[in-house]
């Protein structure tokens, strides 16, 4: 069963759900071409053509017909910084806090998976500034504290706060341990004129030798496709409170054009900077987030 935003609302416990998501995902890997990663995958990596065959795990090869190299304890440690955008626009749709809810549960699953691999993880929350920034640790106690932080985010109400990811990313790039994996959950909705500053901040992360995984979190149906009934609406900017009365068909074409242009430029810049860019529709399953992380982790080995 695929876990989607609708299904997770049946759970009240972030820790329990994170465990279920990850262990269900890992069980699924047993039946996939990634077999061999399973719960021990932190001790294996894909074999690269041309390297020594000395550490190939031939037992795994016999089961999967794929070459994996054994990894040793000192090789497995990773520092991961999860950045969570908690600005007002992430509380959309307002009735469900959809984008924030999706990002919080995805972050919980990643944190659980990282700790299971004995990797260190930190979470930073931000809007127009860094709000909370935890230490980067791999202990079980630390993981529990991260779950408590994530639960507080889910329970909080939105205040009018602008996104200023560009400023935050510059700060984080300088602040955290070199060669970290930086995982960002954000809709990246800043003022269009600030786009170049945003791209510069992403480039700064790469310049500091960090690996970056950007989950661009949106409600595709309404925020990108702008699908609404053709009747009068009052649209309210969640970050400024500005209100506009109109019928969707009056601006649908021009709105879609601007959104598509921004998304394509963001994706292109990420490709240029070798940043893994994942478009996330909050209607899609959480397994896609874990899969994207696994692919990035394999690339880093």
What residue segments make up the domains of the chain, in order of their start?
Answer: 41-73, 77-300
- Out of 2-6, 29-33, 53-57, 90-94, which region has the weakest mean confidence (pLDDT)? 29-33
> Residue 243 burial by CB count (10 A; 0-12/13-18/19+): exposed, middle or buried?
exposed
CATH 3.40.1780.10 fits 77-300, yes or no: no
Largest pairwise CA distance in the chain: 69
Over the chain, what is the mean pLDDT?
81
- Backbone phi, then psi, for 35, in 5-degree steps? -55, 135
Nearest Cα neighbor of 85 from 155, 148, 162, 157 is 162
- Residue 105 CA to residue 82 CA, distance in Å, equals 12
Hey, is 67 helix, strand or coil? coil
Residue 298 in this model has a pLDDT that exceeds 80 = no
- Which residue is associated with the tokens 């944190």? 111
Reported as a single tens digit per residue, the pLDDT across 120-142 is 999 999 988 999 999 999 999 99
- Residue 253 CA to residue 201 CA, distance in Å, equals 30
Report the chain's terminal Cα–Cα distance, integer Å. Answer: 30
Q: Are the C-beta atoms of residues 134 and 80 closer than 8 Å to each other?
A: no
Nearest Cα neighbor of 240 from 150, 126, 127 is 127
- Residue 206 CA to residue 179 CA, distance in Å, equals 9
pLDDT at 194: 60
Reported as a single tens digit per residue, the pLDDT across 235-263 is 777 677 788 888 888 888 888 898 888 88
Choose between 91 and 237: higher pLDDT: 91
Helix (H), strand (E) at residue 255: helix 248-272
């Amino acid at each position: 069963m695929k876990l989607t935003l609708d299904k997770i609302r049946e759970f009240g416990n972030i820790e329990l759900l994170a465990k279920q998501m990850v262990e269900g995902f890992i069980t699924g890997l047993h039946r996939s071409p990634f077999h061999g990663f399973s719960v021990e995958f932190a001790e294996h990596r894909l074999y690269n053509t041309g390297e020594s065959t000395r550490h190939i795990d031939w037992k795994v090869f016999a089961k999967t017909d794929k070459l994996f190299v054994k990894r040793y304890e000192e090789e497995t440690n990773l520092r991961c910084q999860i950045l969570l955008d908690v600005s007002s626009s992430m509380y959309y749709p307002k009735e469900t806090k959809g984008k924030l809810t999706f990002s919080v549960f995805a972050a919980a699953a990643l944190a659980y998976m990282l700790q299971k691999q004995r990797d260190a993880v930190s979470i930073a929350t931000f809007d127009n500034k860094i709000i909370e920034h935890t230490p980067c640790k791999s202990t079980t106690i630390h993981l529990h504290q991260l779950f408590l932080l994530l639960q507080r985010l889910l329970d909080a109400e939105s205040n009018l706060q602008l996104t200023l990811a560009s400023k935050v990313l510059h700060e984080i790039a300088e602040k955290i341990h070199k060669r970290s994996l930086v995982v960002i959950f954000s809709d990246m909705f800043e003022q269009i004129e600030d786009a170049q500053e945003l791209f510069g901040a992403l480039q700064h992360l790469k310049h500091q030798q960090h690996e970056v995984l950007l989950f661009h979190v949106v409600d595709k149906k309404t925020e990108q496709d702008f699908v609404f009934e053709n009747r009068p609406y009052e649209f309210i900017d969640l970050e400024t409170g500005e209100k506009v009365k109109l019928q969707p068909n009056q601006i649908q074409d021009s709105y879609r054009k601007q959104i598509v242009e921004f998304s394509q430029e963001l994706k292109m810049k990420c490709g240029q900077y070798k940043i893994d860019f994942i478009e996330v529709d909050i209607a899609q399953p959480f397994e896609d987030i874990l899969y994207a992380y696994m692919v990035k982790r394999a690339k880093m080995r």
